[in-house]
Structure 1
Amino acid sequence: MTRPQKEFSKVIAAALALGLLAACQPTVAVQAPKDPITINLNVKLDADVRVRLEEQAEEDIESRSEIF
Structure 2
Amino acid sequence: MKTLHNSKVLLSVMLACYALVGCSPTVKIEPPDKPIVINLNVKIEHEIKIKVDKELDQLLSDDELF
Number of residue pairs matched by the alignment: 55
Relative to the length of structure 2, the TM-score reads 0.73
Gaps of 5+ in 1: none
Higher helix share: 1
> Which gives a bigger RCO, structure 1 or 2 (Cα 8 Å, sep 6+)?
1
Q: Which has the larger radius of gyration?
A: 2
How is 1:1-68 mapped onto 2 (pairs within 5 angstroms)? 2-47=1-46, 50=47, 54=48, 57-58=49-50, 61-64=51-54
Give the aligned CA root-mean-square deviation in angstroms.
Answer: 1.5
Q: TM-score, normalised by structure 1?
A: 0.71
Q: Which 5+ residue runs of structure 2 have no aligned equivalent?
A: 56-66
> 1:19 corresponds to which letter in structure 2?
Y
* AA in 1 matched with 2:28: A
- Identity among equivalent positions (%) equals 29
Deviation at 1:44, TM superposition (A): 1.0
Separation in 1, partners of 2:45, 2:54: 27
- CA shift, 1:64, in A, is 3.8
